[in-house]
Chain A
Amino acid sequence: MSAILPLDLVSAVVVIWLALAVLGLVAQASPRFVTNFIFPLGACASLVLLAAAFSALGGTPDIAVLPLGLPDLPFHLRLDALSAFFLLLLGAASFGISLYSAGYFRTMDKGTLGLLCFEYHLFLASMVLVMLADDAYMFMVAWETMAISSYFLVTTDHKIPEIRSAGFIYLLVAHVGAIAILMCFGVLQGGHGDYTFATMRNAHLTEFWASITFFLALFGFGAKAGMLPLHVWLPEAHPAAPSPVSAMMSGIMLKTAIYGILRVSFDLLDMQLWWWGVLTMSLGLLTALYGVLFAAVQTDMKRLLAYSSIENIGIILVGIGLTLVFHAFHKDALAALAITATLYHALNHAFMKGLLFLGTGSVLHATGERNLGKLGGLIHSMPKLALLVLVGALALAGLPPLNGFVSEWLLLQAFLLSPGLPLPYLNMLVPVAAAALVLAAALAGYVMVKFYGVIFLGQPREKRIEKAHDIGIWEQLGLGWLALGCLLLGIFPVFVIFNIDHVTRTLVGQTLGSTPAQTGWLLLTPIHPERASYSPLILFAIVVIGVLFTIFVVKKFYHGRLRRGPAWDCGFPEQTARMQDTAEGFGQPIRQIFKQFFGVIREVPSPFDKKPHYHGETRDLLWDWGYLPIARLAETLSRLAGKLQHGRIPIYLLYSFVTLLALLVFVR
């Protein structure tokens, strides 16, 4: 066999990234070389990965055994449709992010840059290995490498105490999750002692143990994904990390967790129970609503996006839950629809969130400001960035004809089709779940108007940000790629679904069908043309034609005279930039309506204060009610345990003596 297999190409990409990582360390004396050469080269490797993954989508699974690892435990690799899809996501998103990084890290000081380049490429390579792993041992090694390299990326600015504590929380949650994943694999191997995935696929578990496995996986991978109540690390880690790292973590790393859940529940487990689906769906809905509500009240632009990621992970989990329910009841056509929506949304989110996080990076670079309350009016000083971020914001708000809308449309179709399940209570639950989902989707629009409007529109709230410089060529390329992705994924859904079908087939045994062949590539018809159809291209074309036509008619018949003057504002003479809504102000209605869900701390000055001071803070109640008690309990327990330690040898000898006596008494 002389042809190059996709698996070989993917492995080559891993090797290239590892080599670039080391090269970054070696060449750290010359930052120019690192930014102009290593990062673009890494981006080229992403393209190779994209191509390899794309060709592997339709092919048969490739298997390889590496002569690495422990003596009796070689690394197993496998590239099947599911891994190929997530590798494709990784390649596509990391291409844009790496290009952007080439420009973004230009101003970083030497020592940090070399380390960062090392960790960055190691992180990329480890994510590929997570998706290639075909045994639990290699999976965990890759998974932990991913966690640790991203920990170091998050704590790039480790001299700031908040960033160190954010990194610690991240590492803690990541490891609690990793323990659950490890136990999940432990149950899965079913006592054979063989940890390859091939054995796990053949193992038959009882319903009880299968459920234990599923929930361990959901917990473990959910911790990485940001599922409620394990989401607390996201809003801490994302603002701390450099923006390309946030983009990569939110756009790609969260999806490795989704990959893990899908791998365990649809591939490794041989049964799916319907109530797993109901539970996952409920958790997903809670996560989505919780995330979007908190996103609406944030004042830090990266925290806002972090909460929005939590929301999107919630939507993806809803999709997985729905798929599980359908699959358990052998409604495979519906399961195919739900899983397609899920995968589509995962892909979309990589593009949208990558784009927006990178956009905040550019804003941060140009203004040095992360607080929404101090930004504003950047559309004038950074028009290119404003245009590209607008695409991402509209996509994330789920508006047609961009990509976010397509996946939400598919998911809603799946919901609408669900009646007919054998359990009547479940049929009742579905409309309620659909209602919660559309509420979350509508709130996402609110969040995005706030995000975009407060940063880019209006007047600058601080004098100094008027002089912000627009983005350079590398940033434009990276952002442009991701924005183009948002547009194309939105306009040509039939092609995308045609390729996702390969994954759907391996997961649920059925596909959305040969719709492109039946109805042409213009119309997206997941079930039947009579049932539902959507054509973003036609919609896009009509809107464009409508706009051009209107402009033409207005130009033709209208004199077109235009004057510039001060803003009218109902004739109010005094207008300052401070009169615009701040981020707090824009989020106020949400805080008002949903105040039960927030821990709001407000200090309102009295009217007679000489120096009025206003302070408002919205706290995460789960942190206060869930995490702090656990932390306090752990502290109390360790203090009790600490009482045993006195540092005096006679007392330790006494302990040994008592233990020995006890053993003699009990063991005999």
Chain B
Amino acid sequence: MSYSGLLLQLFQDALVVLIAPLLLGWVNQCRAWLQNRSGAGVLQPYRNLVKLFHKDAVLANNASPLFRFTPYILFSGMWLAAALVPVIATDLPLSPAVDVIALVGIFALARVFISLAAMDIGTAFGTLGARREMLVGFLAEPALLMVFFTASAISQSTSLVTIVETLAHRQFVLYPSLAFAAVAFVMVMLAENARIPVDNPATHLELTMIHEAMILEYSARHLALVEWASAIKLLAYITIGIALFAPWGIAEASNLEALPLALAALFLKLAVAGASLALLETLSAKLRIFRVPEYLGTAFLLAVLAMLVHFLLGA
């Protein structure tokens, strides 16, 4: 473990926590522009967090310790996930500890905890949200794993760093397996981050909500942590997408000189990805909840297909 690697790791840890709300603000702003609204500005998520941190927390009478503890688990889990993705540099001292399978495990851990917390108060909406979240999860998680397996099959490794290094050094042509995997990944990302077409982060409509239904009972600091964790999760997913499907510009080894360039590349890619996400959300309509399994099933099959294509064509 090198000294500069440690420094880089700390830098990335701080960076992901701090810019995650910015990314969310950017997505919301882009969406507002696309919908002919003026929008609240890219800094609105920060204001929301500050506001929430100033409020008094209200807990339901029968909230258990699990309910109060979950936001912290969620926050640190998502933070860990985002901190592990080699997105500025590939020399991260923590990355050998967690490979892609473990990364999916961390997402699953967070999902299970938030679902349990949603069931804790025992309201109709909470359990409804938990059930739907687990429904989305059990289909999205295998699809995500299969996307990762395709990338691992190409690079002969499940370590994210090795995957990124291998993919970044390949010839720049369209690989059919990666193309399938990319489509599947985008579908999973939308579902996992509670975006349209699976969920709508902007409404509290009982017939459709998933994520919002689960966090209805949270308030003040707990809600702030949950919201922040969701923002970090979105950032983590987008950076994973970048690392897998657009790994150019990421600094290799502990090359501090390449860092400014890598940072610039990262911000550019995040801006493009955020705008595309907003466009995607504006262009599509929310699916009925009964259609969600089909949607995710498609993503799962696409990911399996990606892996089969890799074995068939070797590409």
Contacts and interface: CB of A to CB of B under 8 A. Distances in A.
Contacts of B312: 428
A445 B112 contact: yes
A454 B119 CA distance: 8
Interface in B95-135: 96-99, 101-102, 105-106, 108-109, 111-112, 115-116, 119-128, 130-132, 134-135
Contacts of B80: 539, 542-543, 546
A88 to B, nearest CB: 26
Interface string B40-57: 000000000000011011
A581 B131 contact: yes
**Chain A residues touching B, range:** 35 or more
Interface stretch (A320-328, A556-564, A623-631, A657-665): A556-564
A188 to B, nearest CB: 38
Given A438-B145, A533-B96, A561 B76 contact: no
B73 A543 contact: yes
Chain B interface, >50% SS class? helix
Contacts of B115: 449, 453
Given A405-B105, A562-B56, A523 B206 contact: no
B122 A580 contact: yes
B221 interface: yes
A597 interface: no
A400 B121 contact: no
Contact of A453 (B105, B119, B304): B119
Contact of B121 (A543, A546, A567, A588): A567
A412 interface: yes
Contact of B57 (A409, A530, A534, A563): A563
Interface in A364-420: 376-377, 379-380, 383, 386, 390, 394, 397-400, 405, 409, 412-413, 416, 419
A400 B102 contact: yes
A448 B98 CA distance: 24
Contacts of B65: 383
Interface stretch (A102-110, A568-576, A635-643): A568-576
A68 B98 CA distance: 54
Given A380-B62, A416-B149, A565-B58, A534 B124 contact: no
Given A445-B134, A453-B116, A539-B80, A568 B216 contact: yes
Contacts of B237: none
Contact of B60 (A446, A551, A568): A568
Contacts of B72: 547, 550-551
Q: For A431, A549, A593, which residue has the most chain B Cβ atoms within 10 angstroms? A: A431
A189 B277 CA distance: 67
A435 interface: yes
Contact of B76 (A530, A538, A546, A563): A546
B76 A399 contact: no
B127 A580 contact: yes
B252 to A, nearest CB: 14
A41 to B, nearest CB: 37
Nearest to A581: B127
B158 interface: yes
Contact of A579 (B123, B146, B217, B308): B123
A481 B79 CA distance: 31
Nearest to A454: B119
Chain A interface, >50% SS class? helix
Given A445-B137, A542-B80, A435 B300 contact: yes
Nearest to B75: A550
Contacts of A453: 115-116, 119, 127, 130
Q: For B77, B101, B128, B312, which residue has the most chain A Cβ atoms within 10 angstroms? A: B101
Contacts of B106: 400, 539
B225 interface: yes
B120 A457 contact: yes
B290 interface: yes
Interface string A315-336: 0000000000000000000000
A2 interface: no
Interface in A437-460: 438-439, 441-443, 445-446, 448-450, 452-454, 457-459
A452 B127 CA distance: 12
B225 A550 contact: yes
Interface string A512-534: 00000000000100000111111
Interface in B72-95: 72-73, 75-77, 79-80, 94
A533 B128 CA distance: 37
B207 to A, nearest CB: 12
A272 to B, nearest CB: 24
A633 interface: no
B193 interface: no
Contact of A458 (B99, B119, B293): B119
A556 B152 CA distance: 43
B304 A435 contact: yes
B159 A532 contact: yes
B305 to A, nearest CB: 9
B64 A446 contact: no
A440 to B, nearest CB: 9
A472 interface: no
B307 interface: yes
B98 A457 contact: no
B221 A570 contact: no
Nearest 5 interchain pairs by C-beta: A546-B76, A458-B122, A453-B119, A459-B122, A581-B127
Given A439-B300, A533-B99, 17 more contacts: A409-B101, A419-B153, A428-B308, A432-B304, A441-B142, A458-B121, A530-B162, A538-B97, A542-B94, A546-B80, A550-B75, A562-B56, A567-B62, A567-B121, A567-B217, A586-B130, A589-B135
19 contacts: A377-B122, A394-B109, A400-B105, A428-B311, A432-B308, A434-B307, A442-B142, A449-B112, A452-B116, A458-B119, A531-B156, A538-B97, A563-B56, A565-B59, A565-B61, A568-B217, A580-B127, A581-B130, A581-B131
Interface of A: 376-377, 379-380, 383, 386, 390, 394, 397-400, 405, 409, 412-413, 416, 419, 427-428, 431-432, 434-435, 438-439, 441-443, 445-446, 448-450, 452-454, 457-459, 523, 529-535, 538-539, 542-543, 545-547, 549-551, 554, 557-559, 561-570, 572, 575, 577, 579-581, 585-586, 588-590, 592-593
